[in-house]
Amino acid sequence: METARGAAPTGQPRIPLSRERVLRAAMVLADRAGVESLTMRKLARELGVEAMSLYNHVANKDDILDGIVEIVFGEIELPASGTDWRAAMRLRAISTREALARHRWAVGLMESRMSPGPANVRLHDAMLGCLRQAGFSVEMAVHAYSVQDSYIYGFALQEKGFAGQKDRLPADEESLSGTLVRELPADEYPYIAEVVGGYVTGPDFQLADEFEFGLDLILDALEGLRGGD
Protein backbone atom coordinates (compact mmCIF):
# COMPACT_ATOMS: atom_id res chain seq x y z
CA MET A 1 0.00 0.00 0.00
CA GLU A 2 1.64 3.18 -1.12
CA THR A 3 1.01 6.50 0.52
CA ALA A 4 0.25 9.84 -1.06
CA ARG A 5 2.31 11.89 1.35
CA GLY A 6 5.30 13.82 0.24
CA ALA A 7 5.82 14.38 -3.45
CA ALA A 8 3.35 12.20 -5.32
CA PRO A 9 5.07 9.39 -7.23
CA THR A 10 4.05 10.70 -10.62
CA GLY A 11 1.85 13.72 -9.89
CA GLN A 12 2.26 17.37 -9.01
CA PRO A 13 4.43 18.67 -6.16
CA ARG A 14 1.34 18.45 -3.95
CA ILE A 15 0.60 21.69 -2.19
CA PRO A 16 0.02 20.88 1.45
CA LEU A 17 -3.49 21.20 2.82
CA SER A 18 -4.32 24.01 5.20
CA ARG A 19 -7.35 25.54 6.80
CA GLU A 20 -7.18 28.43 4.38
CA ARG A 21 -7.00 26.18 1.35
CA VAL A 22 -9.92 24.12 2.60
CA LEU A 23 -12.04 27.23 3.13
CA ARG A 24 -11.18 28.68 -0.24
CA ALA A 25 -12.11 25.44 -1.96
CA ALA A 26 -15.32 25.23 0.05
CA MET A 27 -16.23 28.71 -1.06
CA VAL A 28 -15.56 27.94 -4.71
CA LEU A 29 -17.71 24.85 -4.44
CA ALA A 30 -20.53 26.72 -2.70
CA ASP A 31 -20.40 29.48 -5.28
CA ARG A 32 -20.55 26.96 -8.07
CA ALA A 33 -23.35 24.72 -6.85
CA GLY A 34 -24.86 26.12 -3.69
CA VAL A 35 -24.09 25.43 -0.09
CA GLU A 36 -26.52 22.52 0.07
CA SER A 37 -24.32 20.61 -2.33
CA LEU A 38 -21.17 21.34 -0.37
CA THR A 39 -20.27 18.03 1.22
CA MET A 40 -17.15 16.90 2.94
CA ARG A 41 -16.54 14.22 0.35
CA LYS A 42 -16.92 16.49 -2.65
CA LEU A 43 -14.76 19.09 -0.99
CA ALA A 44 -12.09 16.49 -0.29
CA ARG A 45 -12.23 15.18 -3.84
CA GLU A 46 -11.77 18.73 -5.08
CA LEU A 47 -8.60 18.92 -3.01
CA GLY A 48 -7.35 15.50 -4.09
CA VAL A 49 -7.78 14.01 -0.66
CA GLU A 50 -10.12 11.81 1.37
CA ALA A 51 -12.97 13.30 3.36
CA MET A 52 -11.55 12.55 6.78
CA SER A 53 -8.31 14.34 6.03
CA LEU A 54 -10.16 17.61 6.13
CA TYR A 55 -10.74 17.14 9.82
CA ASN A 56 -7.07 17.73 10.41
CA HIS A 57 -7.58 21.34 9.40
CA VAL A 58 -11.15 22.19 10.38
CA ALA A 59 -13.14 21.10 13.40
CA ASN A 60 -16.23 20.00 11.48
CA LYS A 61 -18.56 21.16 8.76
CA ASP A 62 -19.99 23.95 10.89
CA ASP A 63 -16.49 25.27 11.28
CA ILE A 64 -16.21 25.40 7.51
CA LEU A 65 -19.49 27.27 7.23
CA ASP A 66 -18.39 29.74 9.89
CA GLY A 67 -15.15 30.15 8.02
CA ILE A 68 -16.60 30.94 4.62
CA VAL A 69 -19.20 33.25 6.14
CA GLU A 70 -16.36 35.18 7.70
CA ILE A 71 -14.70 35.48 4.33
CA VAL A 72 -17.88 36.99 2.92
CA PHE A 73 -18.05 39.45 5.80
CA GLY A 74 -14.51 40.37 4.92
CA GLU A 75 -15.59 41.29 1.41
CA ILE A 76 -17.96 43.95 2.67
CA GLU A 77 -16.61 47.46 2.50
CA LEU A 78 -16.41 49.07 5.91
CA PRO A 79 -18.22 52.41 6.24
CA ALA A 80 -15.81 55.28 6.72
CA SER A 81 -16.40 57.26 9.87
CA GLY A 82 -16.47 61.02 10.16
CA THR A 83 -17.27 61.98 6.60
CA ASP A 84 -20.59 61.85 4.78
CA TRP A 85 -22.58 59.24 6.70
CA ARG A 86 -25.10 58.79 3.91
CA ALA A 87 -22.48 58.03 1.30
CA ALA A 88 -20.74 55.65 3.69
CA MET A 89 -23.96 53.78 4.41
CA ARG A 90 -24.83 53.67 0.76
CA LEU A 91 -21.48 52.24 -0.25
CA ARG A 92 -21.54 49.64 2.47
CA ALA A 93 -25.10 48.59 1.59
CA ILE A 94 -24.28 48.22 -2.07
CA SER A 95 -21.09 46.33 -1.35
CA THR A 96 -23.06 44.02 0.95
CA ARG A 97 -25.62 43.30 -1.71
CA GLU A 98 -22.90 42.63 -4.22
CA ALA A 99 -21.16 40.22 -1.88
CA LEU A 100 -24.42 38.43 -1.23
CA ALA A 101 -25.13 38.28 -4.95
CA ARG A 102 -21.68 36.83 -5.57
CA HIS A 103 -22.25 34.27 -2.84
CA ARG A 104 -25.95 33.56 -2.82
CA TRP A 105 -25.55 30.69 -0.40
CA ALA A 106 -24.40 33.20 2.22
CA VAL A 107 -27.84 34.75 2.72
CA GLY A 108 -29.43 32.99 5.65
CA LEU A 109 -26.08 31.80 6.90
CA MET A 110 -24.62 35.17 7.81
CA GLU A 111 -27.31 35.90 10.38
CA SER A 112 -27.68 32.46 11.84
CA ARG A 113 -24.10 31.49 12.61
CA MET A 114 -23.24 31.70 16.28
CA SER A 115 -19.85 33.02 17.31
CA PRO A 116 -19.37 36.03 15.03
CA GLY A 117 -15.87 36.24 13.63
CA PRO A 118 -13.59 39.28 13.67
CA ALA A 119 -14.71 40.58 10.27
CA ASN A 120 -18.31 40.47 11.42
CA VAL A 121 -17.60 42.26 14.68
CA ARG A 122 -15.44 44.85 12.97
CA LEU A 123 -18.24 45.64 10.56
CA HIS A 124 -20.72 46.02 13.40
CA ASP A 125 -18.47 48.43 15.19
CA ALA A 126 -17.74 50.46 12.08
CA MET A 127 -21.43 50.74 11.30
CA LEU A 128 -22.38 51.91 14.75
CA GLY A 129 -19.39 54.22 14.87
CA CYS A 130 -20.27 55.87 11.60
CA LEU A 131 -23.85 56.43 12.71
CA ARG A 132 -22.92 57.72 16.15
CA GLN A 133 -20.43 60.20 14.73
CA ALA A 134 -23.06 61.36 12.27
CA GLY A 135 -25.18 62.49 15.17
CA PHE A 136 -27.48 59.54 15.74
CA SER A 137 -28.23 58.73 19.37
CA VAL A 138 -27.45 55.21 20.56
CA GLU A 139 -31.08 54.21 20.21
CA MET A 140 -31.43 55.77 16.78
CA ALA A 141 -28.17 54.24 15.60
CA VAL A 142 -29.51 50.82 16.49
CA HIS A 143 -32.75 51.57 14.71
CA ALA A 144 -30.96 52.86 11.65
CA TYR A 145 -28.66 49.86 11.55
CA SER A 146 -31.54 47.47 11.98
CA VAL A 147 -33.64 48.96 9.19
CA GLN A 148 -30.77 48.92 6.76
CA ASP A 149 -29.70 45.38 7.50
CA SER A 150 -33.23 44.07 7.39
CA TYR A 151 -33.70 45.69 4.01
CA ILE A 152 -30.40 44.52 2.61
CA TYR A 153 -30.66 40.93 3.75
CA GLY A 154 -34.31 40.75 2.82
CA PHE A 155 -33.57 42.04 -0.63
CA ALA A 156 -30.76 39.54 -1.03
CA LEU A 157 -33.06 36.79 0.15
CA GLN A 158 -35.63 37.61 -2.48
CA GLU A 159 -32.98 38.01 -5.11
CA LYS A 160 -31.77 34.55 -4.25
CA GLY A 161 -35.23 33.06 -4.64
CA PHE A 162 -35.65 34.92 -7.88
CA ALA A 163 -32.39 33.57 -9.23
CA GLY A 164 -33.17 30.08 -8.03
CA GLN A 165 -36.30 30.10 -10.11
CA LYS A 166 -34.55 31.50 -13.13
CA ASP A 167 -31.83 28.89 -12.85
CA ARG A 168 -34.01 25.87 -13.18
CA LEU A 169 -35.96 27.09 -16.15
CA PRO A 170 -35.16 25.71 -19.60
CA ALA A 171 -32.82 27.78 -21.71
CA ASP A 172 -35.97 29.51 -22.85
CA GLU A 173 -34.53 32.82 -21.60
CA GLU A 174 -37.42 35.24 -21.97
CA SER A 175 -39.44 34.03 -19.02
CA LEU A 176 -38.28 34.54 -15.48
CA SER A 177 -41.42 35.19 -13.54
CA GLY A 178 -43.23 34.82 -16.83
CA THR A 179 -43.89 31.11 -17.09
CA LEU A 180 -44.67 30.92 -13.42
CA VAL A 181 -47.51 33.35 -13.69
CA ARG A 182 -48.55 33.10 -17.29
CA GLU A 183 -51.06 30.34 -16.83
CA LEU A 184 -52.98 31.95 -14.01
CA PRO A 185 -56.16 33.72 -15.07
CA ALA A 186 -55.66 37.42 -15.65
CA ASP A 187 -59.23 38.23 -14.71
CA GLU A 188 -58.86 36.64 -11.31
CA TYR A 189 -55.56 38.38 -10.57
CA PRO A 190 -55.78 41.61 -12.55
CA TYR A 191 -53.08 43.47 -10.66
CA ILE A 192 -50.50 40.76 -11.11
CA ALA A 193 -51.35 40.62 -14.78
CA GLU A 194 -50.83 44.36 -14.99
CA VAL A 195 -47.33 44.05 -13.58
CA VAL A 196 -46.35 40.95 -15.50
CA GLY A 197 -47.38 42.63 -18.71
CA GLY A 198 -45.33 45.63 -17.71
CA TYR A 199 -41.76 46.47 -17.12
CA VAL A 200 -40.87 43.87 -14.53
CA THR A 201 -40.44 41.25 -17.20
CA GLY A 202 -39.00 43.73 -19.64
CA PRO A 203 -35.32 44.23 -20.34
CA ASP A 204 -35.14 47.52 -18.43
CA PHE A 205 -35.80 45.93 -15.09
CA GLN A 206 -32.55 45.79 -13.16
CA LEU A 207 -32.37 44.35 -9.69
CA ALA A 208 -29.53 46.69 -8.80
CA ASP A 209 -31.75 49.67 -9.60
CA GLU A 210 -34.61 48.23 -7.62
CA PHE A 211 -32.25 47.78 -4.69
CA GLU A 212 -30.93 51.31 -4.80
CA PHE A 213 -34.41 52.75 -5.06
CA GLY A 214 -35.44 51.25 -1.75
CA LEU A 215 -32.06 51.96 -0.23
CA ASP A 216 -32.26 55.66 -1.03
CA LEU A 217 -35.81 55.79 0.24
CA ILE A 218 -34.63 54.43 3.58
CA LEU A 219 -31.51 56.58 3.81
CA ASP A 220 -33.53 59.70 3.09
CA ALA A 221 -35.94 58.78 5.83
CA LEU A 222 -33.09 58.13 8.24
CA GLU A 223 -31.76 61.64 7.77
CA GLY A 224 -34.77 62.79 9.76
CA LEU A 225 -33.73 60.74 12.76
CA ARG A 226 -30.32 62.31 13.03
CA GLY A 227 -29.48 64.60 15.88
CA GLY A 228 -27.75 67.96 15.37
CA ASP A 229 -24.91 68.17 12.90
Partner DNA sequence: TAAGGTACACATACAGCGTAAGTCTGTCAA
Partner DNA sequence: TTGACAGACTTACGCTGTATGTGTACCTTA
Distance, CA of 30 to CA of 141 (rounded, Å): 34
Q: Which of 57, 113, 132, 226 binds DNA (CB under 7 A)?
A: 57
Phi, psi angles (nearest 5°) of residue 30: -65, -40
Partner interacting with residue 5 (select from DNA, a second copy, none; CB below 5-8 Å by kind): DNA
* H or E stretch at 60: none
* H or E stretch at 191: helix 190-196
Residues 194-213 that bind a second copy (CB under 8 A): 194-195, 198-200, 210, 213
Q: Which of 20, 32, 33, 50 binds DNA (CB under 7 A)?
A: 50
Q: How far is the CB of 156 from a second copy (least distance, A)?
A: 8
Q: Does 42 bind DNA (CB under 7 A)?
A: yes
Task: Answer left, alpha or beta for residue 3, where phi above 0 means left and psi between -120 and 50 means alpha.
Answer: beta
Q: How far is the CB of 81 from DNA (least distance, A)?
A: 39
Closest residue by Cα to residue 92 from 145, 154, 142, 143? 145
Closest residue by Cα to residue 72 from 17, 116, 14? 116
Which residues bind to a second copy, rule: CB under 8 A? 107-108, 111-116, 121-122, 124-125, 128-129, 132, 138-139, 141-143, 146-147, 149-155, 157-158, 160-162, 164-165, 168, 180-181, 184, 188-192, 194-195, 198-200, 210, 213-214, 217-218, 220-222, 225
